[in-house]
Structure 1
Amino acid sequence: MIHYVTTPHFYPIGTPGQPWGDDERAAWRAAQKPSRSYEADVLARIEALRASTDVVAYAVIDHQPDGTYPMYAVRSKAWDDALPTALVTGGVHGYETSGVHGALQFLEQHLADYDGRMNVLVVPCVSAWAYERVQRWNPLAIDPNRSFVADSPCAESEALMRLVQPFGDKFLVHIDLHETTDTDDSEFRPAKAARDGKTTSPEEIPDGFYLVGDTEDPQPRFQAAIIAAVEKVTHIAPADAKGEIIGSEVVAPGVINYACRDLHLCAGVTRAKYRSTTEVYPDSPRATPKQCNDAQVAAVRAALDYALAHG
């Protein structure tokens, strides 16, 4: 099933056809109000993991007057530099809820399964300000997942790059946890078009889970292993009438590819042999919040298990 979402003709901030200036960005930021708590939802769960994991404070992001946000990664307690290493990231887009909660659930339920076999570094919520406001951008109206680039203008992206830089080429696998939602078409694409002084039109929202591989090194068997694990939990998104998902060719069931480094995506932040971005569809009538979180966990486990088995 494909869902069609009607996009508003005009975004309520800015003048159609004119890119935003400082006033429009300030108006957009003022309209973003917190509706949930990073401290209660994320930091409290990380705090509870201190006895069984290593919790690493890697940044404090200052978004005054809204506040400051301490950023944490969680890593295997039994870290061994002789073992292969994996990176799991969630909440690069703060509104993509199961990415955050799926990463936390993996930490709570399965991280210890990899002790002695693989080092795992997990960043559950890359974008704390956006998590609280159920937003895609940071407060400067910058998309973190287009900002993994040298001299990044996005504090969230820059902090994550600093965290992983010392690891060099040690990562064997990186899986980045995302969602595709109805609000991608009803809110976030119109906002981007307004910000950039462009136009937009409705797009088909795929009903189901899919993956984004990297065109630079797509690793199709790796992607297929993740799909096989996830389809035991929730349904996989079909291709549309053009054989595409969100405008990209479906290269295998539930799999499309992007040029991750060229697009400055989080999935291109390492040189890991195995890289994938998950996309869960939480607005599906066929999926519950629990299934969405479970799908993210299944994807992480399948990615790590495949990397361990195939090196």
Structure 2
Amino acid sequence: MNSENAFPIGTLGQKWTAIEKRQWLEQTSVKRSYFDEVMPKIDGLKNDFDAFHYADLHYDANPVGESRYPLWALKSKSWSANKPTVLITGGVHGYETSGVHGALLFAQSEAKRYQDQFNIVIAPCVSPWGYETINRWNPDALDPNRNFIANSPAQESAALMKMVKDLDAPILVHIDLHETTDTDELEFRPALAARDGLAYTKGSIPDGFYTVGDTEKQDDALQKAIIDSVRKVTHIAPADDNHQIIGSDVTQDGVINYPLAKLGLCAGFTDYTYCTTTEVYPDSPKVTNDECNRAQVAAIVGALDYVLTTL
């Protein structure tokens, strides 16, 4: 694939207008159901958590999928101002399946044993339209995970930021669950280049799990604890020949760092002490969907077990 034919919509070197964005939207399709696959799992956790409806996404002119998506989160029943708060987010990129179901599996299987030490709030599917259409963007051709900024134009990002602000609780730990998939290079990065009028240069997808820390608050010990926990479930992504993963220098086995807040990333919008972005590789022949979900759980467990040693 080269830059000249990287994406079928738009003209090389020209940014998309509303016409191209509409063309892109109309070629998407619903492939699975947020209401059938995610909402019942949230409902099933209401005995263990306070489930709360924090916003609605409205896409009234959307020809694909629903025009309204209710956003739900789970909150510890034993919430106390005397406990530090942990925020777990999944499905910021809706197509990244284990981010959604890994967050829900943690709530179901492991969260109870941490609720005496932490307040826990889980937003398992921040981008339900993206979940249904298996898409990185929202219907406005915006990436929610580049729009955690003031006056965000992405409804998903703005809704989550408001929800966290309304909690009125300092966030000690923020764990944002993601995946890196083959479609990042086959579809989503070519689309991004086309949308922004840029040439597409093909990259590579690492085979394995890795984390993204914050260059502004680098915490090598936290990231190592996560990697050590996850390697019990799945393999860790190796560095490439340039000692990088997706173009960023590897600081230790399976770890890179980004300037999270500067890039408008979800993991960077809270005034956290500890944070990580997880990256599972679901397209590897070495893993199953269940292993991907369990890798996300292992990442959360590794992070929280480490933080407990620092309190």
Q: Shorter-chain-normalised TM-score: which range?
A: over 0.9
1:305 Cα offset (Å): 1.6
Q: Is the 8 A contact 1:76 1:111 kept in 2?
A: no
Which residue is equivalent to 1:211? Answer: 211
Aligned pairs for 1:228-307 within 5 A? 228-307=228-307
| In structure 2, C-alpha distance between the alignment counterparts of 1:241 and 1:124, rounded to whole Å | 35
Give, in whole Å, the separation in 1 of the partners of 2:149 and 2:133.
Answer: 25
How far apart are residue 10 of structure 1 and its match?
A: 3.1
* TM-score normalized with structure 2 length: 0.96
Aligned residue number for residue 55 of structure 2: 59
Q: Does structure 1 retain, via aligned residues, the 8 Å contact 2:57–2:68? A: yes
Distance 2:54 2:42 in 1: 14
Deviation (angstroms), 1:166: 3.2
Whole-angstrom CA distance in 2 between matches of 1:291 and 1:49: 21
Which AA in structure 1 matches 2:120?
Answer: V
Structure 2 letter corresponding to 1:239: A
Name the CA distance, whole Å, in 2 between partners of 1:27 and 1:202. Answer: 23
Could you tell me how far apart the structure 2 residues matched to 1:143 and 1:258 are? Answer: 17
Deviation at 1:7, TM superposition (A): 6.1
SS at match of 2:272: coil
How far, CA to CA, are the matches of 2:222 and 2:85 in structure 1? 16
Q: Distance in 2 between matches of 1:147 and 1:127?
A: 13
AA aligned opposite 1:86: V
Residue 10 of structure 2 is matched in structure 1 by 14
The aligned length equals 306
Which whole-Å deviations, capped at 9, do the CAs of 1:16-60 have from their partners, x for residues lacking one?
A: 111100111011111111100000111111011112210011001
In the TM superposition, what is the alpha-carbon distance from 1:301 to its structure 2 partner? Answer: 1.1
Which amino acid in the other structure matches residue 9 of structure 2? I
Q: 1:172-193: CA deviations, max 9, x gaps?
A: 1100000000000000000001
Contact 1:7 1:186 in 2 (8 A): no
Unpaired segments of 5 or more residues in structure 2? none
Q: Alpha-carbon deviation of 1:169?
A: 6.3
Partner SS for 1:204:
coil
Deviation of the 1:67 alpha carbon: 1.7
C-alpha distance in structure 1 between counterparts of 2:51 and 2:238, whole Å: 39
What residue identity is the alignment partner of 2:32? R
Is the aligned partner of 1:40 residue 2:36?
yes
Give the letter for the 1:52 counterpart.
Answer: D
CA distance in 2, matches of 1:222, 1:179: 19
In structure 1, C-alpha distance between the alignment counterparts of 2:159 and 2:42, rounded to whole Å? 18
Q: Give, in whole Å, the separation in 2 of the partners of 1:230 and 1:10.
A: 34
Q: Give every structure 1 segment of 4 or more consecutive aligned residues whose post-TM-superposition deviation is greater than 4 Å.
A: none
Match of 2:151 in 1: 151
1:58-87 CA deviation, whole Å, 9 max, x = no partner? 001111243200000101111121111100
Change (3 A) 1:148 1:234: same
Tell me how far apart the structure 2 counterparts of residues 75 and 169 of structure 1 sit (CA, whole Å).
12
With 159-168 and 208-217 compared, the bigger mean Cα shift is at: 159-168
Say if 1:80 and 1:116, in contact at 8 Å, map to a contact too.
no
Which residue of 2 is the match for residue 3 of structure 1?
A: none
What is the aligned-residue identity percentage? 52
Counterpart secondary structure, 2:52: strand
Match of 1:309, SS state, is helix
Match of 2:78?
A: 78
Structure 2 match to 1:112: 112
For 1:288 and 1:163, how far apart are their aligned partners in 2? 33
Partners in 2 of 1:7 and 1:87 — Cα distance? 40
TM-score, scaled to structure 1: 0.96
Report the residue type matching 1:133 in the other structure. T
Letter of the 1:62 counterpart:
H
Distance change >3 Å, CA 308–CA 189, structure 1 → 2? same
Aligned residue identity for 2:26: A
Q: Give the conservation status (yes or no) of the 8 Å contact 1:10–1:16.
A: no
In the TM superposition, residue 165 of structure 1 has moved relative to its aligned partner by 1.2
Does the aligned pair in 1 maintain the 2:85–2:169 contact within 8 Å? no
SS in 2 for 1:295: helix
Give SS of 1:206's match: coil
After TM superposition, list the pairs within 5 Å mapping 1:148-187 onto structure 2.
Answer: 148-167=148-167, 170-187=170-187
Stretches of structure 1 that go unaligned for 5 or more consecutive residues are 1-5
- The more displaced of 164-173 and 55-64 is 164-173
What root-mean-square deviation, in Å, do the aligned CA atoms of Structure 1 and Structure 2 show?
Answer: 1.2
